[in-house]
């Protein structure tokens, strides 16, 4: 596949040298796509070149334009407007571009090979004390999509999940269950395991608050009450037992975690998310302790009189960071150290990406520094794909106020809405219930994923669950619908016995057809850009633009009704390829396409 910008830049460099006898750096040549209001395909900005030409923008543009036109046979004409040299390409050129794309398998995707760099992407990373919510949804969609985009850029990507399955928060759920459940199970309660366990976590919190306020009524301060809470003591005691390997505690722990996992599995499945490898904190935190103890021996880490192990980061403008508590138990950082070392030993990655919210920016900065100080040569291979929070119209989600949007509920609501909309439009008659449900699911998930992913990952975003999500306009279903339209045309073409539509020769296309080819051509650059920025929004915005452009074409141009056989073949091919790119682009977002909707 030829790279248009590269050819133009090279030719422009030649032009400057031959016209003005100056060699300039390629960065001075600015090529961009011509904006819609002007005529042309690509535009050269001439301002930066005036230093070389020592002439006014008009003259310079004209001279360079003339040179380019003579140098490159695919330039049909050019015009200059206020220092912008707009260049148009011949119709044959665009036809050739399209043909090249049609003949390329997996256009836009780079192949993996032995030399591919390996990237381990960690995402999802739930705690096992409560079900997944809207925040996790953004994380999961981002992690999945970023992984797919990196694969498309030729990286060897491994998706991992780190489950935080131990700690005081799990003990709280366990304690509440032991106290109040009377041996009940999710099966008996007829509930998803993660929701079931989450209820006991909430129950603990309620009981704890009750106890605190009772103690405060007896005259204690809030802090005294917290220190004297029997419930909290019990939970802490349970954690200690867990760390010592107490069989009974471990048994309850394993049972409840298994309930949660089966719940998570269901949610992951409905989201269309999976992993190549799952790490459990309970299996890596000891490794972290070991690493910290070694650091103490080499003198990089220090110990306080009370036994606390910490690292002094004041030279980096940060504080001291504790890595082991005085009682020897580990903290979050300890655990992450263990996990990443394990992970490096498992995969020898060239990079590992943490898909984690931006509230942990500081944590990951520290993690890299600690690894560096402990002399891990790969400490600079960690990157943090930091994303913004999802807020509700009323503000932050707060579990205490019950404003958390549950992942399962949300997906269920989306599917319901998709079903209602489809029934209203009445387009799925003749399908079995099973087929219909599959279509509703694809549309619902498509709407949700597109809505979340089209927003720049690093920005905070607002999500309004009440207005649910639109299925019109800049949405997943709009793009899916465009795909379905194309499928419908191809099906009809087949019915009409048109099978050789890939055979077409040069034809005079309209502006809209050329524009569509240009958009398709941009897919390859878009994948590269999304990869280097690690940003699925780039793909989402691209595919929306492509779909919009196709709908304009679809509306303005007859396809199957075109009489001229050659033109008809060309248009069917154009539609076909657009459909393939839409499907591929959506797949990078984790969105499936229905064949009808």
Partner RNA sequence: GGUCUCGUAGCUCAGUUGGAUAGAGCAACAGCCUUCUAAGCUGUGGGUCGAAGGUUCGAAUCCUUCCGGGAUCACCA
Which residues within the stretch 189-208 sit at the binding site for RNA (CB under 7 A)? none
564: left (phi over 0), alpha (psi -120 to 50) or beta: beta
* Site membership for RNA, residue 559 (CB under 7 A): yes
Segment near RNA (CB under 7 A); pick from 112-120, 142-150, 160-168, 225-233? 160-168
> Under rule CB under 7 A, which residues in 115-134 are in contact with RNA?
127
Containing H/E element for 320? Answer: strand 320-324
- Phi then psi for 424, rounded to 5 degrees? -60, -40
Segment near RNA (CB under 7 A); pick from 152-160, 221-229, 247-255, 456-464? 456-464
* Site membership for RNA, residue 34 (CB under 7 A): yes
Spatial separation of the C-alpha atoms in residues 85 and 65, rounded to whole Å? 7
Minimum CB–partner distance for residue 28 and RNA (Å)? 9
Residue number with CB closer to RNA (133 or 157): 133
Spatial separation of the C-alpha atoms in residues 13 and 18, rounded to whole Å? 9
Q: Are 107 and 42 in contact (CB under 8 A)?
A: no
- Phi then psi for 158, rounded to 5 degrees? -120, 125
Minimum CB–partner distance for residue 67 and RNA (Å)? 19
Among 117, 169, 234, 502, the residue binding RNA under the rule CB under 7 A is 169
Biggest alpha carbon–alpha carbon distance for the chain:
93
Number of residues engaging RNA in binding (CB under 7 A) = 94
Among 13, 461, 498, 528, the residue binding RNA under the rule CB under 7 A is 461
Q: Are 530 and 147 in contact (CB under 8 A)?
A: no
* Site membership for RNA, residue 272 (CB under 7 A): no
Contacts of 73 (CB under 8 A, 6+ apart): none
**Rg for the chain (alpha carbons), in Å?**
30
* Site membership for RNA, residue 157 (CB under 7 A): no
Residue number with CB closer to RNA (39 or 187): 39
Contacts of 325 (CB under 8 A, 6+ apart): 308, 331
Q: Quote the distance between the C-alpha of residue 200 and its chain's center.
A: 32
Minimum CB–partner distance for residue 437 and RNA (Å)? 12
> Under rule CB under 7 A, which residues in 283-302 are in contact with RNA?
none
> Under rule CB under 7 A, which residues in 463-492 are in contact with RNA?
464, 470-475, 477-478, 481, 484-485, 487-489, 492
| Helix ranges (DSSP H) in 472-564 | 476-495, 511-533, 537-556
Residue number with CB closer to RNA (21 or 473): 473
Spatial separation of the C-alpha atoms in residues 321 and 308, rounded to whole Å? 10
Containing H/E element for 277? Answer: strand 277-280
* Site membership for RNA, residue 552 (CB under 7 A): yes
Containing H/E element for 303? Answer: strand 302-303
Among 9, 16, 20, 43, the residue binding RNA under the rule CB under 7 A is 43
Segment near RNA (CB under 7 A); pick from 17-25, 110-118, 147-155, 324-332? 324-332
* Site membership for RNA, residue 403 (CB under 7 A): no
Among 304, 416, 494, 505, the residue binding RNA under the rule CB under 7 A is 304
Residue number with CB closer to RNA (454 or 583): 454
Q: Virtual CA dihedral for 89, 94, 100, 105, nearest 10 degrees?
A: 120
Segment near RNA (CB under 7 A); pick from 94-102, 109-117, 372-380, 553-561? 553-561
Minimum CB–partner distance for residue 564 and RNA (Å)? 14
Residue number with CB closer to RNA (293 or 322): 322
Joined together, the tokens standing for residue 352 give 């590992």
Residue number with CB closer to RNA (156 or 592): 592
> Under rule CB under 7 A, which residues in 204-243 are in contact with RNA?
none
DSSP states of 541-554: HHHHHHHHHHHHHH
Joined together, the tokens standing for residue 491 give 């099906």
* Site membership for RNA, residue 591 (CB under 7 A): no
> Under rule CB under 7 A, which residues in 350-389 are in contact with RNA?
358-363, 389
Residues recorded for the chain:
597
Residue number with CB closer to RNA (17 or 359): 359
Among 64, 422, 574, 580, the residue binding RNA under the rule CB under 7 A is 422
Among 53, 541, 569, 573, the residue binding RNA under the rule CB under 7 A is 541
* Site membership for RNA, residue 8 (CB under 7 A): no
Joined together, the tokens standing for residue 129 give 């004390």
Rounded (10°) angle between helices 91-103 and 565-588: 50
Residue number with CB closer to RNA (116 or 465): 465
Minimum CB–partner distance for residue 161 and RNA (Å)? 14
Minimum CB–partner distance for residue 99 and RNA (Å)? 22
Q: For 352-388, give the secondary structure using H, E and C.
A: EEEEEEHHHHHHHHHHHHHHHHCCCCCHHHEEEEEEC
Among 281, 406, 408, 513, the residue binding RNA under the rule CB under 7 A is 281
Segment near RNA (CB under 7 A); pick from 12-20, 294-302, 376-384, 556-564? 556-564
Q: Are 173 and 201 in contact (CB under 8 A)?
A: yes
* Site membership for RNA, residue 398 (CB under 7 A): no
Minimum CB–partner distance for residue 462 and RNA (Å)? 4
- Please work out, in degrees rounded to the nearest 5, the angle formed at the alpha carbon of residue 339 by the alpha carbons of 337 and 344: 95
Segment near RNA (CB under 7 A); pick from 137-145, 246-254, 317-325, 402-410? 317-325
Contacts of 98 (CB under 8 A, 6+ apart): 517, 520, 573, 574, 577
């Amino acid at each position: 596949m030829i790279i248009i910008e590269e050819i133009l830049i090279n030719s422009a460099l030649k032009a400057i040298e031959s016209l003005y006898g100056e060699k300039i750096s390629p960065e001075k040549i600015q090529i961009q796509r011509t904006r819609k209001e002007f005529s042309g395909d690509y535009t050269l900005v001439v301002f930066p070149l005036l230093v070389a030409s020592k002439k006014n923008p008009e003259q310079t543009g004209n001279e360079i334009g003339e040179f380019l036109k003579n140098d490159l046979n695919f330039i049909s004409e050019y015009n200059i407007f206020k220092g912008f040299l707009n260049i148009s390409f011949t119709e044959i050129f665009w036809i050739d571009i399209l043909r090249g794309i049609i003949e390329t398998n997996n256009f836009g995707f780079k192949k993996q090979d032995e030399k591919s760099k390996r990237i381990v992407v960690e995402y999802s990373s739930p705690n096992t004390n409560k079900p997944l919510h809207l925040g996790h949804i953004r994380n999961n969609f981002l992690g999945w999509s970023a992984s797919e985009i990196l694969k498309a850029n030729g990286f060897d990507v491994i998706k991992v999940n780190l489950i935080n399955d131990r700690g005081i928060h799990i003990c709280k759920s366990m304690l509440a269950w032991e106290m109040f459940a009377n041996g009940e199970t999710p099966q008996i309660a007829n509930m998803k395991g993660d929701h079931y366990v989450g209820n006991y976590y909430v129950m603990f919190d309620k009981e704890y608050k009750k106890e605190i306020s009772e103690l405060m009524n007896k005259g204690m301060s809030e802090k005294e009450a917290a220190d004297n809470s029997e419930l909290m003591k019990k939970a802490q005691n349970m954690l200690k037992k867990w760390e010592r390997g107490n069989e009974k505690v471990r048994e309850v722990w394993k049972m409840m975690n298994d309930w949660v996992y089966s719940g998570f599995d269901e949610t992951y499945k409905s989201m269309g998310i999976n992993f190549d490898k799952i790490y459990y904190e309970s299996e890596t935190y000891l490794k972290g302790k070991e690493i910290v103890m070694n650091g103490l021996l080499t003198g990089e880490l220090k110990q306080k009189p009370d036994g606390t192990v910490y690292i002094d980061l004041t030279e980096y403008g940060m504080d001291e960071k504790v890595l082991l508590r005085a009682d020897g138990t580990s903290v979050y950082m300890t655990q992450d150290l263990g996990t990443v070392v394990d992970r490096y030993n498992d995969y020898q990655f060239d990079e590992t990406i943490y898909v984690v919210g931006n509230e942990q920016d500081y944590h990951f900065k520290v993690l890299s520094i600690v690894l560096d100080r402990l002399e891990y040569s790969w400490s600079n291979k960690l990157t943090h794909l930091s994303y913004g929070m999802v807020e509700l119209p009323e503000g932050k989600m707060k579990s205490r106020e019950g404003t958390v949007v549950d992942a399962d509920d949300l997906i269920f609501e989306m599917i319901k809405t998709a079903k209602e909309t489809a029934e209203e439009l009445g387009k799925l008659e003749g399908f079995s219930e099973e087929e219909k449900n599959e279509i509703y699911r694809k549309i619902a998930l498509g709407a949700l994923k597109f809505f979340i992913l089209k927003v720049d990952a690093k920005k905070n975003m607002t999500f309004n669950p009440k207005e649910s999500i639109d299925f019109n306009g800049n949405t997943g279903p709009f793009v899916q619908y465009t795909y379905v339209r194309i499928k419908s045309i191809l099906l009809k073409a087949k019915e009409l016995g048109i099978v050789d539509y890939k055979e077409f020769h040069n034809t005079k296309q309209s502006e809209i057809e050329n524009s569509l080819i240009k958009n398709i051509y941009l897919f390859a650059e878009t994948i590269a850009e999304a990869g280097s920025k690690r940003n699925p929004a780039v793909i989402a915005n691209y595919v929306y633009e492509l779909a919009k452009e196709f709908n304009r074409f679809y509306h303005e141009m007859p396809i199957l009704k075109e009489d001229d056989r050659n033109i008809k073949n060309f248009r069917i091919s154009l539609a076909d390829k657009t459909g393939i790119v839409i499907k591929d682009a959506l797949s990078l977002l984790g969105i499936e396409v229905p064949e009808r909707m």
